[in-house]
Structure 1
């Protein structure tokens, strides 16, 4: 498929069988496998048509999605989950630490007042406005989620039984149950919001953690970047911002230098 065709199909192929969908400064991803598709995160409600267009551009349909796996359950990653789960029977996988947020996407812990922080950091306002226009204020929660295996927290990465078999990399801090997802055979790490290349709350770019206006514990977030670094992934695909091709170790070092906002 040519680049022009990919633009019309609303996706970008970023690795073998891995496709990025980006809308309103939020990324989510399709993973192709012989046994179907896994969706990693699910953007905002306005992305439904974008997802459908991407699937058709890849020669698939919504029925080919066998699982939605969440890096975490904040509203901007949960946007399509309710509809996929209730209308298409797609199981929604999440860490137990984020199961409450999955049901109540606007009830989560964060260090700083979002309103006050936004006034002090106007660079993030255009990003947040785009997200709001894409439905950030009307995301529905999901009941009946499927939980990651509990042993993934302590025993190192464990593969999920979904297409692509991503390994769960427990990396709390942004939320209590945040997890990276690693495709070992492709060298690809989905870093969610534990490490981004665009902070929606400041508008700053480059590897960093998300500001305290949306992060539960910035110190823990910075500490647990070590778990992501241990994967040695060559390609990092964040929840916000452009893919990082310099490798996870370099990204983690840059994020630590940037510190918390």
Structure 2
């Protein structure tokens, strides 16, 4: 699915229960997160629908470097040479995107939440076994306004991974929350604002604390890594996510 202007000049590519975001301005496009290998044709279609070519994507910014957020990264680097940005604490993960810290055993979740298989199955079919890491990653700094289209401001939101960041777009009244706050948990299939289950979260306490930083943006639009956009305010989303807790 491709949805334009989810927030002003921010477009959603949603494929296999994973979200990527295109931020558009006069300088071109920034891609936030790189989905799965099978998302490639959806990315091409989205870029062409907006009237651009792949070379008009001038940067890839990663909220974090789990496998389902770097799936197209290697191919994009090879074909366009674009720079990739991530927090320094996620650089090692970008190189080895399946070697991630998590608090709970992954195997227990499909047994307890069998509906999660309807979420995880399409992800697997979208090319998970073919994902390879990347080494060509530049560092971004918390508090920095990135010199890429859209000029997002980097917010520290560690917990899901140790280097997880959110991207605030104050002029678009939006925050891209990555997996620090989602509206679909892939490991439980539960919906509504929440943090991702311990199967894929490194530090639950820090993840819950990071909700405060997302809420503090007071953005109207919360644009998550999984699930549909939330348009009832970041503060409310953070409150609901905190109440829902972690599975």
TM-score with structure 1 setting the length: 0.92
Among residues 132, 135, 143, which one is paired with 2:124 in the alignment? 132
Q: CA RMSD in A?
A: 1.0
Q: Work out which of the residue numbers 141, 166, 173 in structure 1 matches 2:152.
A: 166
Within-5 A mapping of 1:228-247: 228-247=214-233
Within a 5 Å distance, the mapping from 1:35-114 to structure 2 comes to 35-114=27-106
* Partner Cα distance (2:3, 2:41) in 1: 12
Q: Post-superposition shift, 1:116? A: 2.1
Give the Cα separation in 1 of the matches to 2:220 and 2:170.
10
Do the aligned residues in 1 keep the contact of 2:7 with 2:173 (CA within 8 Å)? no
Map Cα deviations across residues 94-140 of structure 1 (whole Å, 9 max, x no partner): 00111011000100100111112222221211100110000122211
SS in structure 2 opposite 1:158? coil
The answer for unaligned runs of 5 or more in structure 1 is 1-6
* Displacement after TM superposition at 1:184 (Å): 1.1
Q: C-alpha distance in 2, partners of 1:95/1:80?
A: 18
> Distance in 1 between the 2:110 and 2:200 partners?
11
**Are residue 32 (structure 1) and residue 24 (structure 2) matched?**
yes
- Which residue matches 1:189? 175
- Structure 2 unmatched ranges of 5 or more: none
Whole-angstrom CA distance in 1 between matches of 2:25 and 2:87: 23
**CA distance in structure 2 between the aligned counterparts of 1:11 and 1:81, rounded to whole angstroms:** 21
Q: Which residue of 2 aligns with 1:4?
A: none
Q: CA deviation at 1:32?
A: 0.4
Task: Determine the structure 1 residue equivalent to 2:6.
Answer: 14
Query: Alignment length, in residue pairs?
Result: 247
TM (norm. structure 2) is 0.98
Runs of 4 or more, structure 1, over 2 Å off, are 10-13
- 1:158 CA drift (Å): 1.8
